[in-house]
Amino acid sequence: MFSGVQPTGKLHLGNYLGAIQNWVELQKEFKCIFCIVDLHAITVPDNRKDLKKNSLEVAAAYIASGIDPKKNIIFCQSGVSGHSELSWILSCFAPMGWLNRMTQFKDKAGKNKEKAPLGLYSYPVLMAADILLYQSTHVPVGEDQKQHLELCRDIAQAFNRFNNINFFPIPEPVIMGSATRVMSLKNGLNKMSKSDPSDLSRINLLDSAELIKKKIQKSKTDSGSFPENDQHLSGRPEVENLINIFCSFSRENRQYVYRKYSGKTFSEFKNDLAKILSDEFSIISKKAKELINETDYLENVLEEGAIRANEIAEKNIKEIKKIMGFK
């Protein structure tokens, strides 16, 4: 199993619920590789600052969340050259038409596509290389990565077909949990994201318990009453989002939430949500803050991880070059 997070300096609740919280469960079942995708981060100019500090912060967040660095491989993408090497090879199997369909590029490039870096355009090919380099079979991500995963599957198939070989397994996206797409706390139609200018729109990994409480209390709801079933969620994206977050932290389903809160006020629900959320999240936050100061330990974990990742990557790159017919 392979997955990754970009070191962009602001891990938030979306990253946790869409990805990291699920990894903690999946590590019990799978051999896992958790990457800090620093080569992806540099596709956006702002992220090129503080790369090292931000990478250590992601490593601290992984470990604080419960990822075991001994059992699993945790490493930085830039420490294993196979990622870039395979990305080039795979880019030769990825028609531009496929890449032109990627909605994330369109969103991130904005109006002026001419000025967007080539790396931002080919971002999904590097992502396919990350996954395929280790012959991964499962990729746990948030819903926003589904299209990139589909492209990865298409590229793997194109490589296998062209070379008449079954070298790359076709990886399965694992999109699990109650909050696969966490929305902004201020506008339920926008994804929770680090680039939203309002800090009140998201809960950051390093927010204090008090700040988490304040953000939940200030989060947008509507003038309707607390929903009693899924039909009552229609057209109420902010309410649906808060209920999904509640379900993720309580490990309960929506029926439980409807039973518990129907007839009650949103403020009662928000008080409880703030409590379960900060109970789990602020413990992680506290551990992560402590770990961030243990630079030597984190650097060791990443170095060790890169060595283990390289062992697999080098063997596979050798094989891939042989398949391609390189001397």
Give catalytic residues, as residue numbers: 108, 191, 194
Position of minimal CB gap to ligand TYM? 18
Q: Phi/psi of residue 208, each to 5°?
A: -75, 165
Asked whether 50 and 9 are in contact (CB, 8 A), the reply is yes
Question: Side-chain half-sphere of 239: how many Cα atoms within 13 Å?
Answer: 25
- Identify which of residues 37 and 306 has a Cβ nearer to ligand TYM in the complex: 37
- Identify which of residues 18 and 82 has a Cβ nearer to ligand TYM in the complex: 18
- Identify which of residues 226 and 285 has a Cβ nearer to ligand TYM in the complex: 285
- Identify which of residues 114 and 189 has a Cβ nearer to ligand TYM in the complex: 189
The residues near 177 (Cβ < 8 Å, ≥ 6 apart) are 17, 18, 21, 22, 248
Concatenating the DSSP letter of every residue in 151-178 gives HHHHHHHHHHHHHTS--S--PEEE--SS
In the complex, least distance from residue 296 CB atom to ligand TYM, rounded to whole angstroms = 25
In the complex, least distance from residue 135 CB atom to ligand TYM, rounded to whole angstroms = 13
- Identify which of residues 37 and 247 has a Cβ nearer to ligand TYM in the complex: 37
Structure tokens at 118: 């080539």
**Residues at the site binding ligand TYM, with contacts judged by CB under 6 A:** 2-6, 14-15, 17-19, 37, 40, 127, 130-131, 139, 141-142, 144-145, 148, 180-182, 191-192
User: Residue 80 and residue 34: Cα distance in Å, rounded?
Assistant: 13
User: Residue 11 and residue 205: Cα distance in Å, rounded?
Assistant: 6
Q: Which residue has the tokens 């042989």?
A: 322
In the complex, least distance from residue 262 CB atom to ligand TYM, rounded to whole angstroms = 26
Burial of 327 (0-12, 13-18, 19+ CB in 10 A): exposed
Ramachandran quadrant class, 325 (left: phi over 0; alpha: psi -120 to 50; beta: rest)? left
Q: Which amino acid makes up residue 146? A: K
